[in-house]
């Protein structure tokens, strides 16, 4: 399981780039960054498809495109849209806590209910430590939120919860798919998901232009060359590192570690994201952030010690 642990940690290190890269392009909207990210992801997948594994990827795409579309919509498109919308209603601090706190918990519990790798009681200590650690990390943001913001955010929290459920479904179904279809390699499946992302992004871009031709600032002639370069750089980093490489590493780890354990790795996305942001802002972590991250790492360490029930019976 050591290799799977390494790949899972590495995947979250790349996934955490999504927190810091948008800071390089403050003049572009979140939707534009998302379109740029997933378009690059799709183009990379298309290039790999045409250069190496065309027949294999084409066969997998034609056979499983409907399932791949459902995964992309729930784990990428709908998740991102609902998170952005939910944070507008709930506030960034509360929305981040709900998302970061529930996502690894929901993925682990849902996966364990399906696979029954561990008893729920054995998972409880590590899940509690991860959730507590995430709460401590965001404590300063929660404490600074107004009572009115907390009281009037139920709708936003509901949207975030729906987004979390969608991503939990995506991560678990994706893991079980790869384990049930051993002939589909993680790299080929990453390309299939990337192609679906590309097609959906093209559709969203066309719809956005028809709805409001000025909605995509990248097409604005007044946009400076420097801004365009930074947008392309951000899209490339997020599309290659934050999407294709992340998906490949996550897919590979999914075949090596029980999803009920791997799901807790999602907490590391926020840990790496926080680290990158602190480096970007040239700041030191607060005492709450240090304690919170320590609790998260302790919780993950506990989960690494668990032995699946199925192995124990052998």
In tens digits, what is the pLDDT along the chain, a chain of 314 residues? 688 889 999 999 998 888 788 888 888 877 788 888 899 999 999 888 887 767 777 788 889 999 999 999 998 888 877 877 776 676 655 566 666 667 777 888 888 887 777 777 887 888 888 888 877 877 776 666 566 655 556 777 788 788 888 888 998 899 889 988 988 888 889 989 999 999 998 888 888 778 876 666 666 656 678 888 898 999 999 999 989 999 999 999 988 888 878 888 887 887 888 888 889 888 888 898 899 889 888 888 887 777 666 543 33
Q: Which domain holds residue 107?
A: 2-312
Residue with tokens 């490339």: 236
Cα dihedral 106→109→111→112 (10° resolution): 180
Nearest to 266 by CA among 255, 254, 276, 277: 254
Structure tokens at 153: 């955010």
Cα–Cα distance, 152 to 144 (Å, whole number): 15
For residue 161, how many other CB atoms are within 10 A of its CB? 16
Number of domains in the chain: 1
Radius of gyration of the chain (CA): 20
Q: What is the pTM of this model?
A: 0.80
């Amino acid at each position: 399981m050591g290799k799977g642990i390494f790949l899972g940690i590495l995947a979250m290190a790349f996934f955490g780039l999504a927190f810091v890269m948008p800071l390089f392009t403050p003049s572009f909207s979140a939707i534009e960054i998302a379109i740029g990210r997933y378009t690059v992801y799709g183009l990379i997948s298309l290039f790999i498809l045409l250069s190496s594994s065309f027949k294999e990827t084409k066969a997998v795409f034609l056979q499983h495109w409907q399932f791949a579309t459902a995964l992309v919509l729930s784990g990428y498109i709908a998740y991102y849209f609902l998170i952005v919308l939910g944070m507008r209603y709930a506030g960034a601090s509360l929305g981040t806590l709900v998302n970061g706190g529930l996502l690894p918990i929901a993925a682990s519990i849902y996966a364990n209910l399906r696979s029954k790798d561990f008893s729920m009681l054995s998972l409880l200590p590590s899940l509690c430590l991860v959730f507590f650690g995430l709460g401590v990390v965001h404590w300063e943001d929660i404490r600074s939120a107004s009572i009115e913001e907390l009281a009037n955010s139920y709708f936003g929290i509901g949207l975030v919860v729906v987004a979390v459920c969608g991503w939990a479904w995506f991560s678990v179904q994706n893991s079980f798919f790869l384990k049930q279809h051993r002939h589909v390699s993680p790299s080929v499946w990453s390309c299939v998901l990337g192609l679906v992302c590309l097609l959906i992004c093209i559709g969203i871009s066309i719809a956005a232009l028809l709805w409001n031709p000025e909605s995509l600032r990248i097409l604005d002639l007044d946009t400076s060359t420097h801004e365009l370069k930074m947008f392309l750089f951000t899209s490339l980093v997020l599309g290659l590192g934050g999407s294709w490489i992340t998906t490949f590493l996550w897919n590979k780890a999914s075949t090596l570690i029980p999803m009920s354990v791997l799901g807790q790795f999602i907490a590391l996305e926020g840990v790496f994201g926080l680290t990158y942001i602190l480096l970007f802002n040239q700041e030191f972590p607060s005492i709450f952030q240090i304690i919170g991250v320590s609790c998260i790492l302790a919780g993950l360490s506990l989960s690494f010690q668990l032995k699946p029930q199925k192995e124990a019976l052998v």
